[in-house]
Amino acid sequence: MKKRFLMMCLFLPLTGHAGLNVLADLGGEDATPYFDGINKQPGLPEASPATTQPLVSAMAAMFPISTPEMTPGAVEDRPLQLPGIGALFLIGDDAQSRYWLAENAQALIARHAAGLI
C-alpha cells in the first residue's frame, strides 16, 4: 500500500508540468506586452509591438446610428423594472438632446446616472 502511494506521488509532479493547450483564440488585443518581463531571457529579441487600429476609426465606423425607429423628440416617461441598474438615459447627437442634457445635468449627476449617446 505504501509503495503504491509513493509511486503515485512520484508521478504526480509530471502532470503538474504538462504543457498548456490553447483551446480557442477569440482575437482581441495582443497580450504579449503584458508578459514581456516574465521569464525574460538574455539574448532573445524583444517582442515586436502590437499593431492595433486607432479607436477613432472603429468609432467612426459605428456612429452616428441612424434608424427610423429612433428620432429626436420628447419621450413619455415609463417605469422600468431593471434590478441592479440605476438611473439610465439615452440621448442623441442633436441640438435638442444637448439642450436636454444641459437642463438635466445636475439631476443626472445627483442620481449617478449612466448615459448612452
pTM score, whole prediction: 0.41
Q: How far is CA 95 from CA 29, 33, 91, 101, 103, in A?
A: 36, 43, 10, 10, 12
SS3 per-residue string spanning 106-117: HHHHHCCCEEEC
Domain residue extents for the chain:
85-117
pLDDT tens, N- to C-terminus, the chain (117 residues): 777 877 777 766 665 666 776 666 677 777 777 666 666 666 666 656 656 666 666 667 776 777 787 777 777 887 777 777 888 888 888 888 889 999 999 999 999 998 888
Contacts 24+ apart (CB under 8 A), 1-5: none
Q: Pairing mode, if any, of strands 88-90 and 114-116? A: parallel
Three-class SS state of 115 = strand
